[in-house]
Amino acid sequence: MEGFLKEHGPFQIQPDGVTLKYNDYAWNKIANILYLESPAGVGFSYSEDKKYSTNDTEVAHNNYLALKDFLRLYPEYSKNDLYLTGESYGGIYIPTLAEWVMQDPSLNLKGIAVGNGLSSYEINDNSLVYFAYYHGLLGTELWKDLQAFCCSQGKCNFHDNSNLNCTLKMEEMIQIVEESGLNIYNLYAPCEGGVPGSTRYDGDYLVTHDLGNSFIRVPMKFSWRQSLFRMPTARKVRMDPPCTNSTDLRVYLNSPEVRKALHISPDAQEWQVCSFEVNRGYKRLYMQMNDQYLKLLGASKYRILVYNGDVDMACNFLGDEWFVDSLCQKVQVARRPWLYTERGENQIGGFVKEFTNIAFLTIKVGLGRGCWPCWTPVLCCLPLGTTSPHDFRLPAHSPGHALRNNSSLAAAGAACGAFCSKLHRT
């Protein structure tokens, strides 16, 4: 619902938490888009038995069953071209879902798109340290120590290094990148609400920030996570993404009038942007998505787009570029800038590298993940018949832009997947 109401849906929630306005660049103008709040317990989705322990494999299968059930209820969409898209932990959700969908001939799967996605824990961790240093976040002394204690023979392991000195220096690095008040979703954006503490109270709720998916094997992060999840189940805990403000969404979606209008079950919990209970009971089964991507690419009929805002630190562009390179696909077009038009002039929108049936694309101007879908709401759409945006132009508009003639995709929140089917064209 965050993506639906704050990024690319037909309406955008205003700061008062009451008013909606039309989104001129809503993605549903070019696509039939189905948003899914998943796993059960996220958003308004719920389990009748109130048991929310789950894992990657179960979520993928449940998402597949949900998609099948939707198409059973609305068969008029069943023949449409289908793309699966998501962002952040959607980097796990979408490829694992695609494994199910590609085995079902009744579903017209054409491709997937993952934005600022978690594709490999190891690559994401290793790349983030380089990202942080070369963006001026780490001092030279800390960088030298990280190189000395975490690297050997030209290769660095910042992910699960057993060297105690490396661990200590990594804890310094994590404090700077994740705990100092930097906006991990957009390095150059302010931190909503100011530099946060680790916890605070909001009425009856203990509010803590989402611990994210980086450096989960560093002892400090592991112990934080364990301590948080050992809290008594009776305590009301709200888990918010750091440096974000979801008050407008919570006010709007939890109003009795809106719940009634949306036919939300009285059994459904209060809407929150992240679910503490789901996080507490979630088991991560996959550390990387290489097998899933190679299975899709091996079929030689699906198109894949991996795209990143260039200042997101939660799932950074460098790591996703390394991941795509690690798939060892044939390069079709070398890395190059792609252009958009603003006030009659061509500007660089980012960079793109094309392989056989997969492309990696960056989006510049410091728009990150948490912000750029609001500014460029169809920028990451998979173009019709290609994985490259090189032959598309963005019409002039301020403050944002929109691509023309695109296939239908939607990016979803970290705890969500999105499914969309191409409009019939005559």
Q: What pLDDT does 233 receive?
A: 66
The residue with greater pLDDT, 425 or 295, is 295
| CA–CA gap between residue 130 and residue 148 (Å, rounded) | 14
Q: Where in the chain is the domain with CATH 3.40.50.1820?
A: 1-120+285-381, 122-283
Give the pLDDT confidence of 334-356 residue by residue, as tens digits.
Answer: 999 988 777 888 888 899 999 99
Q: What is the arithmetic mean of pLDDT over 209-227?
A: 83
Q: Which of 116-130, 168-182, 231-245 has the lowest mean pLDDT?
A: 231-245
Show the tokens assigned to 301: 């009929």
| Contact yes or no for 259/253 (Cβ under 8 A) | yes
pLDDT confidence tier of residue 389, bands split at 50, 70 and 90: very low
| CA–CA gap between residue 5 and residue 1 (Å, rounded) | 6
Q: What is the arithmetic mean of pLDDT over 207-232?
A: 82
CA-closest candidate to residue 323, choices 308, 334, 338:
308
Show the tokens assigned to 192: 């909503």
Give the pLDDT confidence of 68-108 residue by residue, as tens digits.
Answer: 999 999 999 999 999 999 999 999 999 999 999 999 999 99
Q: Which of 65-79, 266-280, 320-334, 408-422 has the lowest mean pLDDT?
A: 408-422
Give the pLDDT confidence of 14-34 residue by residue, as tens digits.
Answer: 999 999 999 887 888 888 999
pTM of the predicted model, to two decimals?
A: 0.88
Q: What pLDDT does 224 receive?
A: 77
Q: What pLDDT does 424 receive?
A: 35
The residue with greater pLDDT, 53 or 377, is 53
| CA–CA gap between residue 238 and residue 244 (Å, rounded) | 13
Residue 420 β-bridge partners: 33, 83
What CATH class has 122-283? alpha beta
| Contact yes or no for 229/239 (Cβ under 8 A) | no
**Strands (DSSP E) along 169-324, which ranges?**
199-202, 205-209, 237-240, 282-283, 303-309
1-120+285-381 CATH fold: Rossmann fold (3.40.50)
